[in-house]
Structure 1
Amino acid sequence: MITERVSEHKAILVTGKARSERNREERAFWLFLSPWVIGFIFFVGGPMVASLFISFTSYNVIESAQWIGLENYTNLFKDNLFFQSLKVTAYYVLLAVPFTIVVSLLLAVLLNFKVKGQSLFRTIFYAPTIVSGVSIAFLWSWLLNPDFGVVNSIIFQLFGVKGPGWFTSTDWVVPSFVLMRFTALGSTVVIFLASLQTLPEELYEAASIDGAGRLTRFFKITVPLISPVILFNSIVTLIHSFQVFTEAYVITKGGPEWGSFFYILYLFDTAFAQFRMGYASAQAWILFIIIFFFTMLSLWISRKVVHYENDNKH
C-alpha cells in the first residue's frame, strides 16, 4: 500500500511538472506572438473594420461621416471608370500571372544548373527585387522609350523596323507593364529554386535509364513534384497583379486614353485626390471580394492538378 501511494504521489508530481511546463511554454508562445497580434489588430484588422464601416458612409475627411447605406456600392456599378479600371486590371492579370510563373520557373531551372559563377548569376537575377519600385519604373520608362529607348534601338538594329510605342500606345501599354515584371521575379525565382533543390535525384536517374529526355523529365517529374509551389506562387502573383500601382502612377498616370488606368490607381485617385473616402473604401472591399473569389477558385481547381507527397489519390 505504501509503495502504491508513493508511486501515485510521484505520478502526481510528474503530471504537475508537465502541466507547469506546458503552461510556461504557452505563456512564452503568446509572449513572442504578441507583437504580431498587436500589430495585426492596430495596423491591419482595425483599419479593415473601419474601412468596412466607412464604405457605407459619405466621408471626405474634413466633415463627419454620413451614413448612406449601400449607395457607394450601387454607384460603383454605374461608374464607367470603375469598369474601365477592372477591364485594364483583368487584362494585366491574364498576361502577368502566366508570364511571371513561366519565366520564373525557367530561370530557376537554369540557375539550378551547377556552373561556374552560379552564385553570381543568382545574385544578379535577385538584385532588382530589392531596388525601389520607383527606380525600376524610371529605368523601364527609359528602356522602353519609343524615341531613344534601348529596346527600340535594338529592334531597329536587328530587324530594321521601328519598335512599338510601348507606354505611349493603348495597344502596348499593358504588355509593357507585364514586361516590367522581368525585374520583379527575384522572390518567385528563389522559391522555385529552393523547391527544385529538394527533388530526389534518384527519380531523374531512373527516368534517364528508361530513356526519358530532359523535356519528358521536366514535365513528368519536375512539374508534378513542385506543383504545390507553382500553386503558391500563382496565388501570390495573382494577388500582387490585382494591386499594381507604383509603375502606372510613375510612368503613365493611367494613360494613354485610360489604357493603364489600373484599379488601385483609380482607388488612390478617389481617396487621396478627390477625398471620397467612403467611395474608395467601397472600391477596396470590392477588390477584396474579387481577390478572395479568385484565390478560392484557384484552390478549388488545384485539387485536381496539384500533386502532394502524401496524397493517396496520386
Structure 2
Amino acid sequence: MTTTTQRTSSPAARPRGTVGPRSRRRRENLAGYAFMAPWFLGFLGIVGGPVVVSLYLSFTDYSVLGSPEWVGTANYERMLTDDPRFLSALRVTLVYLVVSVPLVQVFALFLASVLNRGIRGLPVYRALFYVPSLIGGSVAIAILWRFVFQGDGLFNGLLGIVGIDTGYSWIGEPATALDTLIVLNVWQFGAAMIIYLAGLKNIPAELYEAATVDGAGTWRKFVSITLPMLSPVILFNVLMNMVAAFQAFNTAYIVSNGTGGPADSTLFYTLYLYQRGFVDFQMGYASALGWVLLIVSAAITALLFALSRRLVHYGDER
C-alpha cells in the first residue's frame, strides 16, 4: 500500500499536464512579482533613485550646468554657521507649524462636535466645510488671498464698513504677513473635520449615558471620554497637518512673489530651498537643505510617537 502511494505521488506517475506544488508556488510568486514590478520601477525611478542622488549631491558643489564637485560637509557647515537665511526660514516654518497645526485641530474638532449632534442637512454642511481643503492650497486661492489682505483689499473694506478705516497692508508688513498665511491654513480644516467626525461617531453612546448617570457635565464628558477615545485620531491629524506644514510652498510663493518677503517673514523652508536650487542653481546646497528638513521632520515625528505612548489610548487596551 505504501509502495502504491509513493508511485502515485512521484513525478513519473503524475498525469500529463499537471503541475507540482513547488512549480505552482513558483509560478504564483512570479505572477505576484510581475504585478508588483510597475510599482517597484516607479518607486526606484521617481522616489528611491532621486533620494539617493540627492544624498550624494548634498556633499557636492553642483550648479546643474556643470559636473558635481565633492566638497564633503561644506554645505552643512555653511548652513549652520554662515547662512542667516537658513535659520530665518527654519524659524518661520516652525512658527507656522506650532501655531497653525493646533488651531486647525481646535476648529476641526469643534465643528465636528457640532455636526455630530445630528443637525439637519448634515451632508450639505459637511461638503461646504470640506471644500476649502480641496481648493485652499491652489494657486488661485493664494492669488485671491493676496488681494483680500492687501492695502485696498476686501478685508480692509469690511473693516471700513464697521468704521475702522485703515490702509494697512496685512501681507505687506513683516508683523502680520505670516499671520495671513496661518489664517489660510486654518481655513483648510475640512479634511481634519471629516476625520474627527468619523471618530466621534465611533465612540459608543453608552459611555456618555453612563457618565450622565454619574452626574458628569458636558466638559467632563469631553475631557474624560471624547478626548481619550479620539486620541488616535488626533495623533493622525496632527501628523498629517505637520507634514503638510513642513511642505507648505504655494501660498508663500504666490503671496510674496517668490521672495519670502517682506523681510523674510514668509520665507518658508521649502521656498528657501527652491530659491537656492532653482533660482541660484546651487543644487548641492539645496540637496543639503532637503536632508536637514527630512531630519528635522523625522525627529519631530519620533517625538510625537514617543509622547503618544502616554497620551494616546486605544480601545483594545486593558
Could you state the TM-score of these two structures normalised by the residue count of structure 1? 0.87
Query: Which residue in the other structure is 2:225 paired with?
Result: 221
Equivalent of 1:143 in 148, 155, 163:
148
Cα deviation digits, residues 101-123 of structure 1 (max 9, x gap): 11111122223232221111111
The answer to whether the 8 A contact 2:100-2:186 is kept is no
Structure 1 CA distance, aligned partners of 2:290 and 2:249?
14
Return closer, same or farther for 1:35/1:290 CA change in 2, 3 Å cut-off: same
Q: Which amino acid aligns with 1:198?
A: N
Q: Which amino acid aligns with 2:64?
A: V
Cα deviation digits, residues 159-207 of structure 1 (max 9, x gap): 7464864211211111211100133222222222221221111112222
Structure 1 CA distance, aligned partners of 2:53 and 2:130?
37
Matched, 1:50 2:46: no
Structure 2: gaps of 5 or more residues: none
Structure 1 CA distance, aligned partners of 2:22 and 2:316?
33
Return closer, same or farther for 1:228/1:257 CA change in 2, 3 Å cut-off: same
Cα deviation digits, residues 6-47 of structure 1 (max 9, x gap): 9x97xxx9xx99888876765565454443332221111110
Matched, 1:134 2:149: no
Q: Which amino acid aligns with 1:99?
A: L
Matched, 1:98 2:102: yes
Query: Which residue in the other structure is 2:197 paired with?
Result: 193
Matched, 1:296 2:302: yes
Offset, 1:125: 1.1
Matched, 1:84 2:102: no
Q: Which amino acid aligns with 2:272?
A: Y
The answer to whether the 8 A contact 2:108-2:192 is kept is yes
The answer to whether the 8 A contact 1:95-1:175 is kept is no
Structure 1 segment 243-262 matched on structure 2, within 5 A: 243-252=247-256, 253-262=259-268
Matched, 1:206 2:213: no
Structure 2 CA distance, aligned partners of 1:183 and 1:280?
31
Matched, 1:263 2:266: no
The answer to whether the 8 A contact 2:96-2:182 is kept is yes
Query: Which residue in the other structure is 2:282 paired with?
Result: 276
Give SS of 1:168's match: coil
Identify the range of structure 1 (41-50 vs 197-206) with the bigger mean alpha-carbon deviation: 197-206
Q: Which amino acid aligns with 1:47?
A: P
Identify the range of structure 1 (51-60 vs 303-312) with the bigger mean alpha-carbon deviation: 303-312
Offset, 1:142: 2.4
What percent identity do the matched residue pairs reach? 38
Structure 2 CA distance, aligned partners of 1:247 and 1:59?
28
Structure 1 CA distance, aligned partners of 2:189 and 2:296?
24
Q: Which amino acid aligns with 1:105?
A: L
Structure 1 CA distance, aligned partners of 2:22 and 2:184?
56
Offset, 1:156: 4.1
State which structure, 1 or 2, has the greater radius of gyration over its C-alpha atoms: 2
Query: Which residue in the other structure is 1:125 paired with?
Result: 129
Matched, 1:65 2:71: no
Q: Which amino acid aligns with 1:66?
A: E
Structure 1 CA distance, aligned partners of 2:29 and 2:232?
32
Matched, 1:38 2:41: yes
Structure 2 CA distance, aligned partners of 1:307 and 1:158?
47
Give SS of 1:226's match: helix
Structure 1 CA distance, aligned partners of 2:22 and 2:194?
42
Equivalent of 2:313 in 291, 307, 313:
307
Give SS of 2:139's match: helix
The answer to whether the 8 A contact 1:164-1:172 is kept is no
Structure 2 CA distance, aligned partners of 1:29 and 1:103?
45
Structure 1 CA distance, aligned partners of 2:28 and 2:45?
26
Return closer, same or farther for 1:32/1:199 CA change in 2, 3 Å cut-off: farther
Structure 1 CA distance, aligned partners of 2:46 and 2:120?
46
Give SS of 1:261's match: coil
Query: Which residue in the other structure is 1:236 paired with?
Result: 240
Structure 1 CA distance, aligned partners of 2:249 and 2:25?
47
Q: Which amino acid aligns with 1:136?
A: I
Query: Which residue in the other structure is 2:172 paired with?
Result: 168
Offset, 1:144: 2.1
Return closer, same or farther for 1:112/1:53 CA change in 2, 3 Å cut-off: same
Structure 2 CA distance, aligned partners of 1:159 and 1:208?
47
Return closer, same or farther for 1:90/1:66 CA change in 2, 3 Å cut-off: same
Could you state the TM-score of these two structures normalised by the residue count of structure 2? 0.86
Structure 1 CA distance, aligned partners of 2:101 and 2:55?
29
The answer to whether the 8 A contact 1:155-1:163 is kept is no
Equivalent of 2:183 in 170, 179, 198:
179
Q: Which amino acid aligns with 1:171?
A: A
